[in-house]
Amino acid sequence: MEHPQPSTLSDLLHSPRPLTASVSLPFLSTPPPPPSHHSTDHRILTTLNRPTVIVGTLTLPTHTTPSSSHFPCSCFKFSDGSATVCCDILSFRLAAIGKQIRITAWNFIPFKHPGDRGSRTGFLEIIKWCFSDPNESNLADIFQFTPSFPGTNCNKGGKNFRAVHGVVKSVGPISIVPCATPASGVYDLNSSSKVNLLGFLVQLLCCECRLCGSRELVNNLRNGSFEIENVNGHSFTKMEILYFCGNASSFHPVMTKLIGSRVVVSGLKKKLVCLTKEESCLMYLTLDETVLRVCPRLEKLTLCLKSEIKGKGECGSYTGVIRGVYMKGMALELDNDVWFLLTDQLHTMIHGLRVGSIISMRNVHFVDPKFSWTKVVILGACVKTSIVLESFSPLETVCNVVLQSTSMLGKFIQSLPFSTRLW
């Protein structure tokens, strides 16, 4: 058998066309999907004519101070020393962040950087991977937002820290919130001394049992009486809101991957956040000391992937194949006469929304527009909607990298009877 040759990202960026490759030839383990009448005009991705691996490091996006020239995607990044590109990864593990990984099956879709005319970049779809150091696959899925350095006082305010144990239900888009400086005690969104803070909201269905009360859990994690491996005795009943703000906003792709997973987040602060002059909401805010733990993969709670569709604006999940991408990525045609309408710019920046991809949409609204001439279902995205790529497209189709979204569709969508924005 031919020995796999390493490929570098800079080589791939010079490739004139999208590629697919794997460590073994001639074929990827996933055969191309059966041809349908929609996909006949798309060719299958060109397979690199030699077995290959890519070795590099998976990292989180860095959201610098928001500016108009900022490329507003929220993808995982992958660097191999020759270049850094946006990527998405199947079989994600928290332990892989910051680690060197070997990618043994991938697609690479080059595109022009929308914020920087002419410069070439691309999207790496990681299909199969492993840790470069096989021992690292046994690492616990735990991540501390800011690694504590010896000598820093990480117990500062420690007794007020809270922890929560729950199942990730929804992840909102990243938004820029003009906010008072955290030093002032309460986050007042209407304060005159405003800073622009990036952040996103996560809904967590939490356990409130004897072990998991938000004050007790901190101690129970410390003294070992709480074991994340053990799910027995917990019941997830109380919806809590976590606000990942500041540096923690780079966790957006991670939390999106974790929808439906059981997590423990510690090192949080409970705060009253003023939304408007009259309205405020008690939520948990991330701090520099925040630690995220993910329960072992084996018991990922099975979500109902196809909700019963009534078409009255109810919220649910749906999985389908993308058949067409229209209106700069804001309208996706799925199989079975289902249309998915996206309003948020962050959603339209998910590069992997290519024709042929299988996506699963969490927390979408089902709307039956009751057209007299045809039967279609519209899935409407809202601020709680998340899109997860279940399988990358084997077709040579373009990435979704529109920088500016038009407001036309947004207006149309607002005229539809979706539930009102909650957040």
Residue numbers of the site for Zn ion (CB under 5 A)? 73, 75, 86, 207, 209, 211-212, 234, 382, 384
Query: Using DSSP, how many helices (H) and how many strands (E) does the chain show?
Result: 5, 22
Nearer to Zn ion, 21 or 73 (CB): 73
CB 263 to Zn ion: min, Å: 13
Between CA 334 and CA 360 the distance in angstroms is: 11
The minimum distance between CB 195 and Zn ion, in angstroms, equals 25
Q: Which residues pair with 266 in a beta bridge?
A: 163, 291
**Nearest distance, CB of residue 373 and Zn ion, angstroms:** 28
- Secondary structure element (H or E) that encloses residue 392, with its range: none
Smallest distance from the beta carbon of 212 to Zn ion, in angstroms?
3
Q: How far apart are CA 140 and CA 127, in angstroms?
A: 22
CA pair distance 243, 281, nearest whole angstrom: 11
* Alpha-helical runs (H) found in 151-264: 216-223, 252-257
CB of residue 121 vs Zn ion: minimum separation in angstroms?
A: 8
**Tokens linked to 240:** 């809590």
CB nearer to Zn ion: pick between 113 and 270: 113
Give how far Cα 205 sits from Cα of 1, 167, 314, 412, Å: 50, 5, 19, 33
Cβ closer to Zn ion: 179 or 332? 332
Nearer to Zn ion, 293 or 384 (CB): 384
Cβ proximity to Zn ion: between 179 and 382 the closer is: 382
Peptide bond into 26 cis (omega under 30): yes
Q: How far is the CB of 22 from Zn ion (least distance, A)?
A: 23
Pick 234 or 323: Cβ nearer Zn ion: 234
State the DSSP string of 310-329.
--EEEEEEEEEEEEEEETTT
